Amino acid sequence: MANSNPKLSLRDLGNTGLKLSSIGFGASPLGNVFGPVSEADAIASVREAFRLGINFFDTSPYYGGTLSETMLGIALQAVGVPRNEYFVSTKCGRYGDGFDFSAERVMKSIDESLGRLKLDYVDMLQCHDIEFGDLDQIVNETIPALQKLKEMGKIRYIGITGLPLSVFTYVLDRVPPGSVDVILSYCHYSVNDTTLVDLIPYLKSKGVGVISASPLAMGLLTENGPPEWHPASPELKSACKAAAILCKEKGGNISKFALQYSLTNIEIASVLVGMNSVKQVQENVAAAVELTTTGKDERILREIEAILEPVKNQTWPSGIQKS
């Protein structure tokens, strides 16, 4: 049942009225993006997420070439929590075979996504990784198309996602107020990169809700390390590895510290963590609960920050625009 754990707090998402769990379930791993996941593990992970109070699930037709949406749909149906007790975000414009932010494609795309998810509506539809598109098309064509989908009742709220933070201001400065409800930023509010923080006052002034994804920096801040496709530089990868080793030597776990770090900023409505096992769900919720009860270990955190200092806020290129 949703919210059986009162300690996983709910946070307001901008002006939407949605109250998201502080940890959101990133479903890209259900598309085998970080290695194979069985249907049984997918269902068990989603069931455990609900049991521990997670009410927000994020996917995209891009993840695993639609597999993430399909697996999330199977899991949501298997678990059977009432539809009004959870929130689902999916995306449009980025697909296994490339990018297409045209009105025609995104109008078709939502129907395909709803079919795979076995849902009548999604709570959020987000333009996925807009730095790969023409930002003026996003403003003039894609977002107006999403507004039609809102009127049709297929989506409740509209979002945009991307890596370079400059794409958010570009779009939000040009769309009618209130037409974009939420932004999803990733890899910019983690212990190694906090550049999202500078944008928060602007987003608040626009009434836009903030979701931050990838607190583990897409695997950099895990004991197992990142997947082979990870775009970070060798320096960033080795600094994160050194931080993970230090945590282990101190009897801790880098993922726990990294997640707690990202959860500390309550202006961020939900921190999306990619999860593909019951154990990860349990560990991550336990990290959040520990943060609100005993707090984080500031001493180890300072040591982690010292190791990461030479690569602080280092990112990587993404998209066709200059960031």
Q: Which positions touch ligand NAD (CB under 6 A)? A: 26-29, 34, 58, 128-129, 161, 184, 186, 213-219, 222, 255, 272-276, 280, 283-284
Task: Report which of 194, 199, 191, 248 is spatially closest to residue 220, judged by C-alpha positions.
Answer: 191
Give the residue carrying structure tokens 């590895």.
241
Minimum distance between the CB of residue 287 and ligand NAD, rounded to whole angstroms? 7
Q: What letter represents residue 314's amino acid?
A: Q
Minimum distance between the CB of residue 28 and ligand NAD, rounded to whole angstroms? 3
Ramachandran angles phi, psi of 199, nearest 5°: -90, -15
Contact 193, 162 (CB under 8 A): no
Beta bridge partners of 126: 91, 159
**What gap in Å lies between CA 320 and CA 168, rounded to an integer?**
15
Active site residue 121: no
Query: 111: which residues sit within 8 A by CB, 6+ positions away?
Result: 154
Nearer to ligand NAD, 14 or 26 (CB): 26
Minimum distance between the CB of residue 163 and ligand NAD, rounded to whole angstroms? 7
Which tokens is 274 given? 């990619």
From the candidates 63, 86, 157, 261, give the one annotated as an active-site residue. 63
C-alpha dist (Å) from residue 199 to 60, 130, 164, 202, 298: 24, 17, 12, 5, 25
Q: Say how many residues make up the chain.
A: 323
Q: What is the DSSP string of 245-284?
A: HHHHHTT--HHHHHHHHHHT-TTSSEEEEE--SHHHHHHH
Nearer to ligand NAD, 151 or 282 (CB): 282
Contact 22, 8 (CB under 8 A): yes
Q: Quote the crossing angle between the two packed helices 67-79 and 103-117, to the nearest 10°.
A: 40
Nearer to ligand NAD, 123 or 129 (CB): 129
Minimum distance between the CB of residue 107 and ligand NAD, rounded to whole angstroms? 20
Nearer to ligand NAD, 131 or 152 (CB): 131
Q: What letter represents residue 126's amino acid?
A: Q
Neighbours of 135 (CB within 10 A): 22
Minimum distance between the CB of residue 34 and ligand NAD, rounded to whole angstroms? 3
**What gap in Å lies between CA 78 and CA 318, rounded to an integer?**
37
Nearer to ligand NAD, 38 or 177 (CB): 38
* Residue number closest to ligand NAD, CB atom: 274
Nearer to ligand NAD, 16 or 89 (CB): 89
Minimum distance between the CB of residue 276 and ligand NAD, rounded to whole angstroms? 5
- Residues noted as catalytic: 63
